[in-house]
């Protein structure tokens, strides 16, 4: 009986460390004054991830003028029952996880976050460094998504 328990544990541990082949993209939404909302969108998880996406994390990389304000999961995939999202504005870190193993299995907006973009920073590039979906060894590290922040109605100088 002890051997059976050990085998079941090993199978569970291996399946929980599967990798995702999901593509991601940053979408810059309309600015409201100096605040810009950015959405992290993803395709549906690939076939290599049968359990879906059950955790994510990234660090927002910007130039020194742009300030990270925080995260918002309302009306996103990470707003599902059993999901928790958090942010550290000082470190520009964002993370989320499913506490009840309620994985995300569809594509869409994973999470949104807000940036303060003063006039002198219009046209700045933002990237999501250390983007990871799920955990494990190795974790899924999609291509780093980047986008240019341009407030509506402002032209390049």
Scanning the structure block, which residue is given the tokens 């009840």? Answer: 100
Domain made up of 22-148: CATH architecture: Sandwich (2.60)
* pTM for this prediction: 0.75
- Give the model's confidence band at 1: pLDDT under 50 very low, under 70 low, under 90 confident, else very high: very low
| Separation between Cα atoms, residue 71 and residue 139, nearest integer Å | 23
| Separation between Cα atoms, residue 53 and residue 16, nearest integer Å | 11
Scanning the structure block, which residue is given the tokens 């999470």? Answer: 111
pLDDT in tens, 8-18: 222 222 333 44
pLDDT in tens, 48-86: 555 678 889 999 999 888 999 999 999 999 998 889 999
Please tell me the predicted confidence (pLDDT) of residue 13.
29
Please name the residue ranges forming H helices in the chain.
2-15
């Amino acid at each position: 009986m002890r051997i059976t328990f050990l085998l079941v544990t090993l199978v569970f541990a291996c399946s929980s460390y599967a990798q995702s082949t999901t593509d991601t993209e940053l979408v810059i939404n309309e600015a409201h004054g100096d605040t810009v909302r950015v959405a992290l969108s993803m395709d549906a998880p690939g076939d290599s991830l049968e359990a879906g996406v059950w955790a994510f994390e990234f660090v927002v990389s910007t130039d020194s003028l742009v300030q990270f304000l925080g995260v918002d999961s309302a009306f996103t995939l990470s707003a599902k029952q059993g999901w928790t999202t958090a942010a550290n504005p000082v470190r520009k870190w964002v993370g989320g996880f499913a506490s009840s193993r309620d994985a995300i299995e569809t594509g869409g907006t994973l999470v949104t976050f807000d940036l303060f973009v003063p006039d002198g920073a219009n046209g700045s590039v933002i990237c999501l460094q250390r983007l990871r979906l799920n955990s494990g060894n190795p974790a899924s590290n999609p291509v780093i998504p980047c986008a240019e922040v341009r407030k509506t109605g402002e032209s390049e100088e």
